[in-house]
Structures are given as structure tokens and as C-alpha cells.
Amino acid sequence: MKITKGYKYRIYPNDVQTEQISRTLGCCRFVYNHFLALRSEAWKECRESLSYVATARLLTELKRDPEHLWLASADSMALQESLRNLDRAYRNFFSGRGRYPRYKSKHNHCQSYRTRNQSDNIRIEDGRIVLPKLGAVKARISRIPDGRILNASVSRTPTGKYYVSLCVEEELVPKPNSGGVIGIDVGIKEFYTDSNGDSVANPKTLSKYERRLRREQRRLSRKQKGSSNRAKQRIRVAAVHEKIYNVRTDFLHKESTRLVSENQVIAIESLNVKGMVRNHHLAKAISDASWSRFFSMLEYKGFEHGCEIRRIGTFYPSSQTCSCCGYRNPLVRDLSVRDWTCPECGAHHDRDSNAAVNILDAALQPA
């Protein structure tokens, strides 16, 4: 079975390659904005909807224009992919999956461009990654993909680091799991509690670095706009944000990998996180926990490990239901109630452990 998989590496371009990356990013941004304006104007004036094929044809003419000959310095595939991104943004808008496309700015947090592999012009050799227009770029290679590279995305972070993500088509190699069955109830105090009674503490990554972030942001606000000191301080603020992201991601990867390698069935809730963060008392803590990203990791890693991820309904009363007799206690809706005794059978429950058992029982019920 063929699957597409991503491999991300940090790269260390030299001065010439760094300049070429910046040039390509600028060209891709110009092409995206130019044809966004063209498509918007064509619709307003003539009610004409330009397709990707039409804009690709116009791009060829634009590159021949004497005033835009500098576009030839960029990777031609990257410019085409920029048009594909614009077309995808329009399709997402018309299908209701996104808002109307917006112009790109060079001040965006993360700049990136994508290029396709043609005639093996994207490959890994001698510990380096060969990319179009860049040549062999020094990289930190931890894993070598075993398959055909479809495309590569080169990105630059706000702290000035460079990465390349390779999209690879390869054969699925099933990974083993220990055959366990588990239910998971995520929370704020404990990151999750399982049906076995075990729990994993919430690292609260943002809270851990919030004081440092507040200090660096305060210093940034005092710098004069346009000054070199402000530019340096902006990088310091970005470095704290990057640290928070990396620590949180590392934790999520470790926990999700452990769960899918130990269990055959994992039961989770279908949470409406977008609605939950509207509670301004809990929004920061919920966002810091990154439940949606954790569930996403469980699903794609579970697919490789042959692990089945079962979701139960959003409104299933897992915390209010007694896992022993099925009695529903509406008083447990209060989040301050951390343990309770069932008035029907007398069983004493920890709120989160009881919810995890109910989630597992509900997921194992036949459809």
C-alpha cells in the first residue's frame, strides 16, 4: 500500500543559497499577490473566473515582460506552485472551508515555498539535500526516506532558521503494537487520564515560559520602530515562541508514540475545541494543551501501527455517568467536582478515571 509521508530536516544554506531562498520567496509572494489582484479584478469587472491553467499561461507571458525578467531568477516550479496555492485558496473559499484569499506579506511569521521533483532534481546524497536553484545544501539528516520524493517545501522561521520538508511516496511498513485497549479522557490539570487509572501531568508549557515571554515582549515594546535594536529584540521574542512550540511538540510526539505502540484500540472524545476556547476563563489553558493536535498525531501514527482510534460523540456524558451501574449524576457537570460517590450503587469515582472508562465502554459498543 502506497502512502505519502513527510520528512522534515533542518538545513544550513550558505550565503549564496540564503540569498537565492530570499529571492525565491519574494518572487513567489509577488506572483501570488499579482494574480490574486488579477483574478479579483476579472471577476469584479467581467464576472470572469480565471482558472489555474489561465493564470499559468499568463505567468509565462509575465516572465517574458521586460519589466519582470527578474522572475526568471526564481525556481519556475516554485512559481507554478504559488499559483496552485492561490487556486486552492479560491476553491476552499467557494466550498466554505476558508475565507477569501488575502495578500501575502513579507512580514508573515513563517515564509515558505514549495517546488516539485522533476527528473530527480530533489534528492539526498552525501549527507546533503539537493534542491532546484540551490544545489546541494548542508542538512541535518536523521532519517533517509525510502521512496519517491514528490515535492519539497523550503521554509524560513522568524528566528532565521531554515528547514526543508520532503513529501515522499513510499510503501506502508506496518509497525507493531502491544495489543492493549485503552480509553483516554483529556483535561487541563492532568493532560489525560486513561481507563487503567493512570494519568499524565499537563506540562503547561506556555505557563512555564510565560514570564520570560512577557519580559521579552515588554522589552520589544520599548524599542524604537525601525531600529536595529528592535529587529534584534523581535528575534528574541520569536525564539521564546519557538521554544514553547518545540517543547510542546516534543511532549505530544512522545506521548502519542507511546500510546499507539502499546495499544490496539484507543478510545477518545470528539471535542469541540473551537467552541470550548470561547470560555475566556479556560481558553489559554485549553489552547496550551493542544488536544486537537494530540488527537491528530494519534490518528496518523495509529494508522502506521495498525492501531484503531475510535471517537465517541461530543455530547456523550462521560463524566456524569457511573461506570459501574450507568446512573447519571447531573451534579458532576460542575468542573469543581473532582470525585463523587454514586447514589445508586455507592461506588466512589475519580472524575477523570470514571470518564475514561465510560469513553472506552462507549467506543467498544457495536454500532
How does pLDDT run across 282-326, given as a tens digit for each residue?
999 999 999 999 999 999 999 999 999 999 998 899 999 998 999
Residue 234 belongs to some domain of the structure? no
pTM, to two decimals = 0.90
**Which residues does residue 155 pair with via DSSP β-bridges, in sequence order?**
112, 163
Q: Is residue 338 part of a domain?
A: yes
At 107 the pLDDT is 82
Number of domains in the chain: 2
Per-residue pLDDT of 141-180, as tens digits, reads: 988 998 999 999 999 999 999 999 999 999 998 899 999 9
Pairing of strands 123-125, 128-131: antiparallel
Mapping DSSP to helix (H, G, I), strand (E, B) and coil, where does residue 69 land?
helix
Q: Looking at the structure, tell me whether residues 128 and 188 fall in a common domain.
A: no
What is the rounded CA–CA span in Å between residue 62 and residue 49?
19
| Catalytic site residue from 81, 87, 288, 352 | 352
On the question of pLDDT at 335 being above 80, the answer is: yes
Q: Which domain holds residue 347?
A: 174-202+260-367
Strand partners, 116: 151
Flag the least confident range among 46-50, 245-249, 256-260. 46-50
197 and 99, same structural domain?
Answer: no
pLDDT value at residue 92: 95
In a domain, 227, yes or no: no
SS3 of residue 182 by DSSP? strand
Catalytic residue among 75, 194, 216, 269: 269
User: Is 334 one of the annotated active-site residues of the chain?
Assistant: no
The verdict on residue 229 lying in a domain is no
Distance between CA atoms of 151 and 165, rounded to whole angstroms? 8
pLDDT at position 294 is: 96
Instruction: Compute the distance between CA of residue 231 and CA of residue 111 in angstroms, rounded to an integer.
Output: 17
Residue 4 CB contacts under 8 Å (≥ 6 apart), including other chains: 150, 167, 168, 169
Strands (E), 187-291: 190-194, 199-201, 263-269
Read out DSSP for 285-315? Answer: HHHHHTHHHHHHHHHHHHHHTTPEEEEE-TT
Q: Does the active-site annotation cover 210?
A: no
Mean pLDDT for 234-255 is 96
Same domain, 120 and 186: no
- Reference 185, options 311, 328, 353; nearest CA is 353
Which of the following is catalytic: 81, 87, 185, 194?
A: 185
Q: What is the mean pLDDT of the chain?
A: 93
- The answer to the question of residue 226 being in a domain is no
Cα–Cα distance for residue pair 94/90, rounded to 1 Å: 6
Residue 46: the pLDDT is 84
Regarding whether 278 and 348 lie in a shared domain, the answer is yes
Same-domain pairing of 344 and 196: yes
Residues 52 and 132 in one domain: yes
- 255 is an active site residue: no
Residues 99 and 185 in one domain: no
Total number of residues shown for the chain: 367
Residues 158 and 287 in one domain: no
Q: What is the rounded distance in angstroms from the CA atom of residue 193 to the CA atom of residue 174?
A: 28
User: Could you tell me the pLDDT band of residue 106, with boundaries at 50, 70 and 90?
Assistant: confident
Residue 367 in this model has a pLDDT that exceeds 70: no
Percent of the chain with pLDDT over 90: 81
Residue 275 in any domain: the answer is yes
Q: For residue 328, give the DSSP letter.
A: B
* Domain-embedded: residue 243: no
Burial class (CB in 10 A: 0-12, 13-18, 19+), 126: exposed
**Residue 348: its pLDDT value, please?**
92
Q: Count of CB atoms within 10 A of residue 45's CB? A: 8
